[in-house]
Structure 1
């Protein structure tokens, strides 16, 4: 819907006889990949993600240990002790699942930390973009790396160099269109979920 709206506005403006607006585009994905602040934020994000993932994994490892201990001792336990041990394991599973959601949920701590770390970077880029648009008298500037996309991009309208200059980034290292050298890829950190195999195994054994 957003892409359709943008294209509709452009078609209306381009069809107007009084068309006098100046349009430019930039590649924010490439620009941010060249910013030391962005690299640092990515590194910090990776540290937090790995730390939290390990904490969650440790919780499920403890559940697995409790489960194996219970299965080994089950024959020697009274019915009351069996129920007690089962409840302890279920409580640990619930705790681990809730903590996983708290960290990796849609509005979880990882999401909040990303917003916190990226805010200064994005604000700095926005100031540079605003200044370049003012200096170059641009009416519109689009980010070709966003999900809005562009059907055609004429290189003479690429203002990435100016934004990079404003940020103090060496423009000589700019890659050609489609060249993603310098793009920073952060591998996703796999964290256990409430439906992990271990939990299913535990629940099935304790029924």
Structure 2
């Protein structure tokens, strides 16, 4: 009985000896050092500005229809008023739908951002995987993600290693 308790105790101690190593990175910092990310942001801003201008133009068209309707309203018959009001309502709905298609959840802007960012995020992932294998890490967390990290010990920060694995020179430290 004593021997089995001793071996149980010894095995529990040995399990602690095989502790998992972990580290974290700051992806925002990594992205700020990547020229590809800066180009991607500029590209996203260009797409966004084009879509905003297009939607604003369509909203101005609707406002023009409303203004024209208000000017001519007293001259129109009931049937003509209903027809114009219906046309204005359809145009407003079209613009709202376009706005949702572009800027809504899973809209064109979201999909474009996902498309543009995928190669950049893949580069970070590959570098993280390389660092994790070199440093024998089981987990790498992202300090910049939604995961809340109350305290981080700088000894476990592998951001610089990831930057090095990506071939990004570190001219000035954080």
Please report the TM-score for the alignment, with normalisation by the length of structure 1. Answer: 0.73
Please list, as runs of the form range in 1=range in 2, the aligned pairs for 1:139-178 lying within 5 A after superposition: 139-175=138-174
Structure 2 CA distance for aligned equivalents of residues 174 and 37 of structure 1:
20
Kindly state the Cα deviation for residue 148 of structure 1 after the two structures are TM-superposed.
Answer: 1.0
Residues 128 and 163 of structure 1 are in contact (CA less than 8 Å); yes or no, is this contact kept in structure 2? Answer: yes
Instruction: Tell me what 1:52 maps to.
Output: 51
Instruction: Tell me what 2:9 maps to.
Output: none
Moved over 3 A (4+): none
Instruction: Tell me what 1:96 maps to.
Output: 95
Residue-pair matches, total: 160
- Taking only aligned residues, the RMSD between alpha carbons, in angstroms, comes to 1.3
Instruction: Tell me what 2:8 maps to.
Output: none
Structure 1 CA distance for aligned equivalents of residues 151 and 84 of structure 2:
64
Residues 22 and 140 of structure 1 are in contact (CA less than 8 Å); yes or no, is this contact kept in structure 2? Answer: yes
Residues 143 and 149 of structure 1 are in contact (CA less than 8 Å); yes or no, is this contact kept in structure 2? Answer: no
Structure 2 CA distance for aligned equivalents of residues 18 and 67 of structure 1:
75
Structure 1: stretches of 5+ with no match in the other structure: 1-15, 176-207
SS in 1 for 2:171: helix
SS in 1 for 2:106: coil
Query: For residues 97-136 of structure 1, what are the alpha-carbon distances to aligned partners after superposition, in whole Å with 9 as ceiling and x for unaligned?
Result: 1111111111111111111000000001100000011111
Please report the TM-score for the alignment, with normalisation by the length of structure 2. Answer: 0.86
SS in 2 for 1:171: coil
Structure 2 CA distance for aligned equivalents of residues 96 and 122 of structure 1:
33
Kindly state the Cα deviation for residue 152 of structure 1 after the two structures are TM-superposed.
Answer: 2.1
Q: Which has the larger radius of gyration?
A: 2
Structure 2: stretches of 5+ with no match in the other structure: 1-14
Structure 2 CA distance for aligned equivalents of residues 69 and 174 of structure 1:
61
